[in-house]
Amino acid sequence: MSGLVECVPNVSEGRRPDVVRGLADVVSAVPGIRLLDLTSDADHNRSVITFAGDAEAVESAALALVAAAYGAIDMRTHIGEHPRLGAVDVVPFVPLSGSTMEDCVAIAKRVGGAVAKAHDVPVYYYAKAATRPERVRLPDIRKPQYEGLQALMDTTHGPDDGPARVHPTAGAIVVGARPPLIAFNIELDTADVKLAKRIAKEIRESSGGLTAVQAMGFELTDPVRAQVSMNLLDHSVTSLATVWREVEARANAAGVKVLRGELIGLAPLDAMLDVARESLRLDGLVRTQIIEGHFIR
């Protein structure tokens, strides 16, 4: 396969910049890999590393990252706001130019099998690589978190690959294939995390809210603030502008202002064009009206 593949691993470390930078350097050292983005959050104690290249290079970089992270992160002492199952929490593969979802599913299965064999870590496959319906949604797999996973290994959370026991320091790992996802947070001008949790429940698809939206409410520190944290699984169905309006309307109804938005990692150009069309009412806006749009497909 000669097409491009993107990989967006989430690792359970966001408070030690030297460790996170070291993990990014491991990825960058793989020939044929381009490091696209590195984003860390101390409150979540989590980092997102985005890279791309041809399939073989991306597969090698993902395995190198996993090995390095397992040597640097100990889940027995990890504390953070974001749900997680392991030192490397989730490794999604995303098809770009010249590659297909089927290609990425195959990569996910190879990487998952290699991690299970090399590190004795339980592996779960999700999204397009899921082996059963209840494993499609990442939150369903991650619900027990690292601390509660072992108790469910013999019932709902038997792994798809690897041992049926949580690795003491590495935990477990979720590997999959999916379309581009936008991780987007909205910070509220309040410390009332109950409000953020209520708004998140109202807007997420699983509670009858916006289609293709996952959402949770968190408490941030320094200063203490409430945050609505979201994953937009398909921006063509529910746009960034739409979730902003829905969150802002609910916050304002409670007498709270929205402070700012935060993009975690990268977003497709088309998602940003959608924002311009909706927020600026540029109904006929097309890619070729953006300078960079003449240089990218």
Distance linking the first and last C-alpha atoms of the chain = 19
**Residue 243 to residue 234: CA distance in whole angstroms:** 12
Residue 82 among the catalytic residues? yes
Give phi and psi for 97, each to the nearest 5. Answer: -60, 125
Catalytic residue among 44, 78, 82, 167: 82
Say which amino acid occupies 44. Answer: H
Residue 78 token pair: 């990890």
Residues annotated as catalytic are 82
